[in-house]
Structure 1
């Protein structure tokens, strides 16, 4: 199924943003040049989670597994453009499925392992899959049984395949697939068009039901090229991928850069700090992607890092929540690690602040490049990502420093609209063709934006807007706080007031009075001070690690 309009494809080819390479083209190049080199490594604790030993495959061995999966898809009667649901942890088989779909001309829809009956009932009718690939069980949950039940109710034509012992009745065991030397090529014989849909990922659903985000080969290859420029990983060096392979963070931020670099992809899932640090040491990882809360936690626990060997790490990407300036500065000055600030979404919103763009770590933590102006950012990514700030009420462009507005974005990484059974929903774009992100930014100057918060997250106290992200960053800098989020609570006089929800380090305590005194020392404006404090064991998060803000007020 072609996705982007022909005029856009022609324009982006002419500009050199898209190259016309498919994901399979990139993979075949890696196999040809690095067939015997290490390619992909399982989580070292796979046996504990799945009951099977960790795998380590070369590019040639991975290619054999991809061929076998292509043959299996054909044997099951799948046709070009059919959808395949994948519900797997970060294991080597997941990457093989992705590459097999890319080679066969199938559309892969990866879903989070946290998804259960409710989410699957929303997704399956939208994409009508012909196959559902999973594991028999993972961390004690019977995934194959869940897939069979979901498909029986919502996708009766889908075959369920699974890895793992004791496959459920009705599911096809994939353990015996092994590897194949036969190269079957695309289903139907016709070459893959790089404009064909390759994946349908799902929005995190913090505000509503998940939405399907289709992306084609051109999207993914370009995304990988841009993130590889930021990561600066060389051939044969190791990436550590702790984010589930279900969205742009993992596929665009890890899998595609690894494939283009011909590096080593080290899988990790679910997140376990001890295992994570051991993998860095064993595999000599140079680049990884880590949530801000983990980076904060490690800097506040030097006794953990003293026992770990992280000397190979050069760069770490982080995002999904604002970065604390003290954290970015601490990693750079104490450990020589450059933290890259990434703002992105499945839809293709992508702003990346590297050490080259902002050498000062505190600037890098707070600001994102104002891409789209070739005079300011003449690089390939700087011109291929077009941005504007807009007053959402008047739709007028914001051009005065200090003013805030909704970020609108367009360009080579931006998707073409949400998936619908009867076509693509483009209502999320404005009249100029820019995607409405729903995120508020402040115009700093000609070069930079500053993230303010989600437009629906802004707290309005007495008619004055308060950015939760700003307050959260300061609250998280308190020594007792492991992670924090801010939400509003109703007030008859002011409309809303600020509530801080915090998870504390073990053995620590914190009162509202102590927090207020700390924030006053930071010279936070009085009207922004939290007036209520809730302590929780952990912040409510969705499958992508983002804080589910609607649940903050439900915290005890």
Structure 2
């Protein structure tokens, strides 16, 4: 899917979309600060030497890898899959692919044969860039770090100037359907997302950004990677998540900004002994979101440590809302509400965003306190799902994205939006989305399962974990469920960590399982 010529003309005329491209951002920083540090590997890097590159060295690496990919026949319009942990190599791979005018489709490192066998054909990828141990189906063309791509020089890639409307990425979102949906994005809409994620924490070239979120979707790419390129800060990569290493990186690199899930921030406040042993004196703000932020947590970080928590709400399809300390200095207000675009006091950077709340009968809600589905339009919204990956049109008759998330108008002037609930059943475990429908479909094949429902249950560290609720058709326990799913080749983070046996699943009059009535 691509944006229409009319939309491009309207948004560029208003200045919401510009001629900037991702490769241009890189070239600007390489020219402006070639000797400054650009990117740093994780302290506990899994494979290969730990690297620390300047902007000049990063530019040279991107040139080199782009040349190697060009030799493999990769060019404009091609799709290249990438499955690497957060690292220098991941950043180089993404930037080299984009430089050639090709499309990146990034996959979490946890994906195994089951997920890759589904998504590689849907993406149309010609090549997979991976680590030394590829999990791709047999016969998939691959290049590996460090084996195929380390210290190898190819022909010089041809010079080209990118069209901001050309497709840059295909990310994957797990909704209520069993198969993930492909979300294509171009330079225009990615850099509109970047503008919000750069402005909310007021990032500059003096910042040091620690990134613990996988660079495979909105949080990692839009929230960290592109703002880093825009301002020319230092990017410190982190993977896999390990709290002692994470805190050590903050101290060693003098990190000023990072992202963290709400559950982790709450845990650290409750266990002050952990923070007492860590040096977080350089840290000034933290981005968080994906689930409601507890007001005591946001206030606790500000009052005890002088660190502002920035509240983000968005999705792969279209980020739109944020609560930042400049416009919402009260931490409890910032935790509970988002500025309502177009309302009094809303940040100017939200001016291009249009939102509406819609009741189940299709009528627009304009009064406070009445929940409705959030729908939105604007320059951060994608053009539509990759053909063949979604059954329904995500947009309504007026062109607004149906988010499936419930909000209500709040505030004495209707100036806020308050998050009410997730209309979808998605489970968010440590920042990774898990589609219950996918697991339910697989569990239906278990010989001892008559019916199954999958839901999340709260966890202090990861936010949620996975629970399988089963109506049995024989002897069954958690080990047999996990073993059955492992044999299907699914990613380990999706595996249930709890099993509940019930006589029947709660259902509504039309037979839909009522997830909220599951006793977890």
Relative to the length of structure 1, the TM-score reads 0.76
SS at match of 2:419: strand
**Cα displacement (A) at 1:551:** 8.3
Q: Residue 70 of structure 1 contacts residue 100 of structure 1 at CA under 8 Å; is this kept in 2?
A: yes
Match of 1:444 in 2: 410
Is the 2:74–2:100 Cα contact (8 Å) retained in structure 1? Answer: no
1:517-536 alignment, distance < 5 Å: none
User: 1:360-371 maps to which residues of 2 (within 5 A)?
Assistant: 360-371=330-341
Residue 184 of structure 2: aligned partner: 214
The residue aligned with 1:377 is 346
Q: Would the aligned equivalents of 1:70 and 1:184 in 2 still touch at CA under 8 Å?
A: no
Q: Does 1:306 align with 2:266?
A: no
1:270 Cα shift? 1.0
Task: From 312, 332, 354, give the equivalent of 1:386.
Answer: 354
Asked if the contact 1:206/1:548 (under 8 Å) is kept, the reply is no
Shift of 1:314: 0.9
- For 1:114 and 1:235, locate their aligned partners in 2 and report how far apart those are by CA, in whole Å: 32
Cα-to-partner distance string for 1:161-202 (whole Å, 9 max, x where unaligned): 0013xx5xxxxx21233699x56323xxxx311000000000
Residues 546 and 27 (structure 1), Cα distance of their counterparts in 2 relative to 1, 3 Å cut? farther
- Which residue of 1 is the match for residue 108 of structure 2? 112
Task: Provide the C-alpha distance between the structure 1 equivalents of 2:295 and 2:22, rounded to a whole number of angstroms.
Answer: 37
Q: 2:56 aligns to what?
A: 60
Q: Residue 22 of structure 2 aligns with which residue? A: 23
Deviation at 1:148, TM superposition (A): 5.1
2:143 pairs, out of 157, 161, 173, with 161
Q: In the alignment, is the contact (CA less than 8 A) between 1:88 and 1:113 conserved in 2?
A: yes
Which structure exhibits the higher relative contact order, with contacts defined as CA atoms closer than 8 Å and separated by 6 or more residues?
A: 2
C-alpha displacement of 1:97? 1.2
**Gaps (5+ residues) in structure 1?**
137-141, 153-157, 168-172, 459-467, 470-498, 506-541
Contact 1:374 1:382 in 2 (8 A): no
- The Cα RMSD (Å) is 2.9
Q: Secondary structure at the match of 1:208?
A: coil
Q: 1:147 is matched with which residue: 136, 147, 157?
A: 136
Indicate if the aligned counterparts of 1:86 and 1:132 stay in contact, CA closer than 8 A: yes
The partner residue of 2:291 within 321, 343, 350 is 321
Match of 2:151 among 176, 181, 199: 176
Paired residue secondary structure (2:403): strand
Contact map agreement 1:39 1:57 (CA 8 A) in 2 = yes
Please tell me whether the aligned partners of residues 373 and 403 of structure 2 are also in contact (alpha carbons under 8 angstroms): yes
Report the alpha carbon displacement of residue 263 of structure 1 after superposing the two structures with TM.
0.4
- CA–CA distance in structure 1, aligned partners of residues 193 and 491 of structure 2: 22
| CA distance in 2 between partners of 1:347 and 1:248 (Å) | 9
Secondary structure, aligned partner of 1:100: helix
How many angstroms apart in 2 are the aligned matches of 1:407 and 1:417? Answer: 17
Q: Whole-Å Cα distance in 1 between the matches of residues 6 and 391 of structure 2? A: 19
Deviations 1:421-448 (A, max 9, x none): 6x99871100110000000011114211
1:429/1:176 Cα in 2 relative to 1: closer, same or farther (>3 Å)?
A: same
* Deviation digits for residues 175-231 of structure 1 (CA, Å, limit 9, x no counterpart): 233699x56323xxxx31100000000003465321000000111222222211112
Q: Aligned in 2, Cα 1:434/1:225: closer, same or farther, shift over 3 Å?
A: same
1:501 deviates by 4.1
Aligned to 1:87: 83
Distance 1:378 1:268, change over 3 A: closer
Q: 2:366, 2:188 → 1: CA distance?
A: 32
Task: State the 1:132 CA deviation.
Answer: 0.3
Q: Distance in 1 between matches of 2:290 and 2:336?
A: 13
Change (3 A) 1:37 1:547: farther
Q: Distance in 1 between matches of 2:33 and 2:499?
A: 48
TM-score, normalised with respect to structure 2: 0.81
CA–CA distance in structure 1, aligned partners of residues 40 and 240 of structure 2: 15
